[in-house]
Amino acid sequence: MTRIEQRVRDSLQARATDVEPTPDLWDAVDRRITRRRRVRVTAWALAGAAALAAVLVVPGLLTGTISLPDIEPITPPPVEEVEVDVPAEPLIVVHDRDLSVVTAQEVRTLVTLPEEGESTFVHVAVRPGSTLDDLTVVTTTTAEGFHDLRWTRLVDGEVVVAHTAFEGAYAPAAAASTTASLSVPVWAPDGSAVAWIDQVGGDATLRVVGWDDGPGTGDPATDNTAFTLELPAGVPLHLQEWVGSVSTVEGMTEIRAVRDDLTTGWYTIPLLRQADGAWSQPAGAPSVTAEPGPPVDGVTAALAGVTDDVVVRFMVRLTDVGAVLVTDPYGTAVSTALPDDLQPDARAAALWLAPAGDGVVVGGSEAGVAWAVAPDGTLTPLDVPIRWGSTLR
């Protein structure tokens, strides 16, 4: 142990023994337990009444207030109206040929792919910093076995750039080959680049394209680059999020990903931003690293967190009893069983998570359904067809 390590250890021990809890601490714990118990009772009453009514009105839920249906419940609920913390933030969604925004007030279609192209949307990723007044999204589309990347920008609700394909040096391999696959795109935390994986046969390549009012910057340092990922062949990697400030090394970021390989954890792809803005991978480090999973059952199918936070906030775990959402998997690890209509989609390629406030939206792309999960575990179906979704951030 070095001298500085010993000094730190001694100081921490001294300061720890200098601390005494106040007698009020148990009262504080007691109040919190009581409050949580009240919330759970309320949530159960709501769930029972809602199940009997079999009716849920999404716009009402999105505003955060639910009026219980006018029914005769088996057990009278203790309250007439409850506050449920479900996402009130706009959700940008794709389904079939439509790109839409779901807000508390409405579901509004922003753009529709032309019918003659026979393309449909698969994924959507909202550029960080976007608002409903100035919105930029990158989407993946599919048509006749080809996958493509497109982008769309709306200003003040008006489409100024409509579903323009990535072309030339920025085109994904899957746009020219039906044997290539294209991952979900992810944005750099500051919106300065977008990345995806081109998977051709057993080779996986991470593509990073700088952004300046569209794909490419014109600056050789930041315009576009690619990294070969050293992975066992056969199982594609599914990108989940691009996280900034993961360490004290200036410019270090990581892209998090999962695979359908029954891993308990997830994968990180480290990306270092150089002084000139160019992206690189740290010298001598693996291009992809398998990270240990949390001490909870199952394998990882999806994960999401806060962009500038290193902690994974939400995970979908595949367990013996089906797909489960785990909130705070490295902390209190609260599990919520996902609804039956998400279970057939329970694999990494088909499930998506979109953090919204303190809750999260969980979707299944093949079933075309999504559910809002409130912090207390309350599940609310979003009553519109959704193949993929992404929140503003």
Partner 1 sequence: MLAMVRAATEEGSFAAVFNAHHRQAVRLAYLLTSDAFQAEDIAAEAFAKVYVRWKRGEVRDVGAYLRRAVANEANSKLRRRYLERRESSRRSGDDRGVRLVDEDAADRDEVWAALARLPDRQRHAVVLRYYEDLSEAETAQLLGCSVGTVKSQVSRGLAKLERMLDPAADAGRGGGSR
Cβ-contact 196, 184 below 8 angstroms: yes
Cβ-contact 90, 157 below 8 angstroms: no
From the list 56-64, 233-241, 271-279, 287-295, the region that binds partner 1 by CB under 8 A is: 287-295
| Residue with smaller CB distance to partner 1, 92 or 360 | 360
Whole-number minimum distance, CB 255 to partner 1, in Å?
A: 12
Rounded Cα–Cα distance for residues 230 and 213 (Å):
32
Cβ-contact 354, 360 below 8 angstroms: yes
Whole-number minimum distance, CB 270 to partner 1, in Å?
A: 8
| Residue with smaller CB distance to partner 1, 135 or 360 | 360
From the list 53-61, 176-184, 192-200, 286-294, the region that binds partner 1 by CB under 8 A is: 286-294
Scan residues 231-260 and list those touching partner 1 (CB under 8 A).
246-250, 252, 254
Helices (H), 54-83: 58-62
Bridge partners of 316? 302, 325
Whole-number minimum distance, CB 321 to partner 1, in Å?
A: 15
Residue 149, H or E segment? strand 146-155
Whole-number minimum distance, CB 392 to partner 1, in Å?
A: 17
Whole-number minimum distance, CB 274 to partner 1, in Å?
A: 15
Q: Which positions from 179 to 218 touch partner 1 by CB under 8 A, shown as an x/- string?
A: ----------------------------------------
Q: Work out which of 75, 76, 332, 340 binds partner 1, going by CB under 8 A.
A: 332
Helices (H), 57-212: 58-62
Closest CA to 57 of 47, 69, 45: 69
Bridge partners of 279? 273
| Residue with smaller CB distance to partner 1, 9 or 108 | 9
Cβ-contact 271, 194 below 8 angstroms: no
Scan residues 2-61 and list those touching partner 1 (CB under 8 A).
2, 4-5, 7-22, 24-30, 32-33, 36
Q: Work out which of 162, 272, 278, 334 binds partner 1, going by CB under 8 A.
A: 334
| Residue with smaller CB distance to partner 1, 31 or 108 | 31
**59: helix, coil or strand?**
helix
Backbone angles phi, psi at 162, to 5 degrees: -110, 120
From the list 106-114, 123-131, 193-201, 288-296, the region that binds partner 1 by CB under 8 A is: 288-296
Residue 98, H or E segment? strand 98-102
Rounded Cα–Cα distance for residues 290 and 206 (Å):
16
274 binds partner 1 (CB under 8 A): no
Alpha carbons within 13 A on the beta-carbon side of 314? 30
Q: Residues with Cβ < 8 Å from 122, sequence gap 6 or more?
A: 94, 139, 140, 141, 142, 147, 365, 387, 388
| Residue with smaller CB distance to partner 1, 51 or 285 | 285
Whole-number minimum distance, CB 3 to partner 1, in Å?
A: 9
Provide Rg for the chain, Cα atoms: 23
Binding residues for partner 1, rule CB under 8 A, total: 57
For tokens 């579903």, the residue is 163
Scan residues 292-331 and list those touching partner 1 (CB under 8 A).
292, 294-295, 305-306, 309-312, 328-331
> What is the binding site for partner 1 (CB under 8 A)?
2, 4-5, 7-22, 24-30, 32-33, 36, 246-250, 252, 254, 268, 270, 285, 289, 291-292, 294-295, 305-306, 309-312, 328-334
